[in-house]
Amino acid sequence: MPKHVVGTVDEIPPGERKIIEVAGRSIGVFNVGGEFYALRNTCPHQGGPLCQGRLTGLLMARVPGEYSYTHRGQILRCPWHGWEFDVKTGQSWFDPVQTRVRAYPVTVETVTVETGADTADTTGAEFPEGLEKGPYIAETYDVTLENRAEKQVIVIEIP
């Protein structure tokens, strides 16, 4: 499956999301407690922008009067009609056997970016034939790129 880098870990803090376009598909990438998940940004009900919906949890009751709030920040509610889906699996809560939204595999990988040490020098720039240096000179600054940087990137696999 082709892999697509969709951003860095720093871009999506816990409890947040980033909606991106990958291979012609709108996909929401979610950070749930430091774990990353990706869902198709289309509600199976009527095609609403699912990933723009509210992240919530579930209120569970084993017996009357005894409640607990679970799956905090893991349940995505469609903004159009309130259909709820588990961000981790894409399963719906109202019909988990037949209704779901497409989930994509997500990994976090560490990459090393090689930039090399380089300094830009424009003071001795050549002019194309027929042009000459004018009377006005813009102020310039030397620019240096650092040698190495490690970044953690979020990668989605799309079939």
pLDDT tens for residues 70-129? 888 899 999 999 999 999 999 998 887 888 999 999 999 988 766 555 544 445 556 566
Domain of 55, in residue numbers: 3-60+67-111+149-157
Question: CA–CA separation, 85 vs 21, rounded Å?
Answer: 21
Question: CA–CA separation, 28 vs 44, rounded Å?
Answer: 15
Give SS3 for 15. coil
Q: How many domains does the chain have?
A: 1
Within a domain: residue 104?
yes
Q: pLDDT-based confidence at 13, cuts 50/70/90? A: very high
DSSP one-letter code for 141: -
Within a domain: residue 54?
yes
Q: Could you tell me the CATH number of the domain that includes residue 12?
A: 2.102.10.10
- Predicted model pTM: 0.73
Residue 150: pLDDT over 90: no
Question: How many CA atoms within 13 Å lie on the side-chain side of 150?
Answer: 3
Within a domain: residue 137?
no
pLDDT tens for residues 27-76? 999 999 999 999 999 999 899 999 999 999 888 888 998 998 888 889 99
